[in-house]
Amino acid sequence: MSKLPVISGLKAVKTFHAFGFFVSRQTASQRVLWKKPGWMSPCSVPLHKELKQGTLRNLIKDAGLTVDEFVALL
């Protein structure tokens, strides 16, 4: 398993976008992402300068991805 780098919330949103996610809602502090029509669970990404590793790992897991897949597209 790859070690997660420290990245910003915006960088995470851009990486999820590469996997086919799109922004459905946005506020000043977070972006809510959906995979495709029919995807049951949204991912809410906080727009921090640095995401904590546990937060990022949970976002990756909720998105149905592996850490290795996510790190490969960074």
CATH number at residue 60: 3.30.920.30
pLDDT of residue 47: 93
pLDDT digit string, tens, across residues 36-69 = 666 667 889 999 999 999 999 999 998 888 999 9
Spatial separation of the C-alpha atoms in residues 65 and 20, rounded to whole Å: 12
Domain span at residue 22 reads: 9-72
User: What's the pTM?
Assistant: 0.86
Number of structural domains (the chain) is 1
Is 66 contained in some domain? yes
Q: How confident is the model at residue 3 (pLDDT cuts 50, 70, 90)?
A: confident
Mean residue pLDDT across the chain: 87
Q: Is residue 1 part of a domain?
A: no
d(CA 43, CA 62): 7
CA atoms lying within 13 Å on the CB side of residue 51: 23
pLDDT at 38: 64
Q: How far, in Å, CA of 58 to CA of 4, rounded?
A: 12
